[in-house]
Chain A
């Protein structure tokens, strides 16, 4: 048994928290570090809210220390000032070009919620490719229509557009912002109406689906995931596949929660860089890391991301 494989088997036998889960938990805690807010039913108002966090984390979550990029983008587009959102878009592009969808796989708190729900031991549903493939494009439509076009052009009487995605869809806002605030703040509870009912229904459906389908929101609906997907092929953080080490066992593709064809298209826009393929590979053919574009050493024989 090769040494590396033996080590992996040994590690696999111990039930301990994975690197991915540890990063996810730390990120969720870091982005929502204002614990007092949950008790008071108030949100954080400190200077860190000048910055957008890279993940879908509602700025109305009582613990949130930063601003949500998707909420900020809609607010900027719908502000009625007809100004291009340089700051928010620049930050989002920066996160995208550095990490790509590693943000989804390693940092997003709502991704963590979906991952944990998928651990519930119920029969899992394999979405047929006929439905799965076209449905993956829905998130790009959500990004274009609900996050960009409607806030930019469908303005109300006051010349301001509502944040359509946040208002009608965002389950992360309902879970992280709506529910904790309504529980701790009786004044807000009295103001709740049909919209809260609709958003709670959306949240419940997504949470229920998460138990049977891996990360349904990330696969089909998340506009932020759609945005970062555009950067996946050339971001500084890349997945690498060494064809010379591959023994064709297919474990990587079976383990991939996003159904990426690891051996053919490892930096697919659908890859969330969760590292599952890397963890199960018995020969170490899959690796990941930051790349600045230097030529790979001949010994490494790493595949270059195809453009």
Chain B
């Protein structure tokens, strides 16, 4: 069971890293940035 747990956590960590790197390659981090540097009117209860 311990081996399965270990494999799962390393597998998920690798998948997470892969997704993040792929997202950066697509420029999705810039989309996050563009959203985060403007006041989100919906978030603060105005939009």
Contacts and interface: CB of A to CB of B under 8 A. Distances in A.
Interface in B1-47: 1-10, 12-13, 15-24, 26, 28-33, 35-47
Interface in A26-52: 43-45, 47, 49-52
A240 to B, nearest CB: 12
A87 B20 contact: yes
A103 interface: no
A24 interface: no
Contacts, number: 174
25 contacts: A43-B38, A44-B37, A59-B43, A64-B36, A71-B35, A72-B32, A83-B26, A83-B28, A86-B19, A87-B23, A88-B32, A89-B19, A94-B16, A94-B20, A97-B9, A163-B43, A177-B39, A177-B43, A178-B46, A195-B46, A196-B46, A234-B9, A235-B9, A293-B2, A304-B1
Contacts of A295: 2
Contact of B45 (A72, A162, A178): A178
A91 B17 CA distance: 8
B39 A93 contact: no
Interface of A: 43-45, 47, 49-52, 58-60, 64, 66-68, 71-72, 75-76, 79, 83, 85-91, 93-94, 96-98, 162-163, 166-167, 170, 173-174, 177-178, 181-182, 188, 191-193, 195-196, 198-200, 231, 233-236, 292-293, 295-296, 304-307
Contact of B46 (A58, A191, A234, A236): A191
Contact of A76 (B4, B5, B18, B31): B31
Contact of A177 (B7, B8, B24, B40): B40
A255 B42 CA distance: 38
A59 B23 contact: no
B33 A305 contact: no
B9 to A, nearest CB: 5
Contact of B43 (A76, A98, A167, A234): A167
Given A90-B23, A234-B12, 5 more contacts: A45-B37, A85-B23, A93-B12, A173-B45, A307-B4
Nearest to A193: B46
Contacts of A91: 16, 20
Contacts of A60: 39-40, 43-44
A292 to B, nearest CB: 7
Contacts of B18: 90
Contacts of A90: 16-23
